[in-house]
Amino acid sequence: MKTVLVVGEINVDLIFQGYDSFPAPGKEVLVDDFVITLGSASAICAMGLARLGRPVAFLSKVGADTWGAYCLDTMRAAGIDVARVVRDPSLKTGVTAAITSPRDRALVSFLGSIRALRAEDVTDGVFRGFQHLHVSSYFLQEGLRPGLRDVLARAGAAGLTTSLDPGFDPAERWERDLLETLDEVDLFFPNEVELRALTGEDLILEGLRRLDNPRTRTVVKLGARGCATLEKGALVEAGAFPVETVDTTGAGDSFNAGFLHAWLEGMPIETCLRYGVACGSLSTRGLGGTSRQAAAAEVETLLEERT
CATH number of the domain enclosing 276:
3.40.1190.20
User: Rounded to an integer, what distance in angstroms lies between the CA atom of residue 222 and that of residue 298?
Assistant: 22
Task: Give yes or no for a contact between 256 and 227, defined as CB atoms under 8 angstroms apart.
Answer: no
pLDDT tops 90 at residue 216: yes
- Which helix (H) or strand (E) segment holds residue 163: the answer is strand 161-165
Q: At what angle do helices 251-264 and 41-51 cross, to 10 degrees?
A: 50
pLDDT band for position 18 (cuts 50, 70, 90): confident
For the chain, percent of residues with pLDDT exceeding 90:
87
Q: What pLDDT does residue 24 have? A: 87
Least confident of 3-7, 193-197, 249-253: 249-253
Position 46 scores a pLDDT of: 98
pLDDT digits (tens, 9 = 90+) for 232-258: 999 999 999 989 988 888 999 999 999
Residue-wise DSSP of 22-63: ---TT----EEEEEEEEE-HHHHHHHHHHHTT--EEEEEEEE
**pLDDT single digits (tens) 252-286:** 999 999 999 999 999 999 999 999 999 999 999 99
Domain count for the chain, please give it.
1
Question: Which structural domain range is residue 294 located in?
Answer: 4-21+30-305
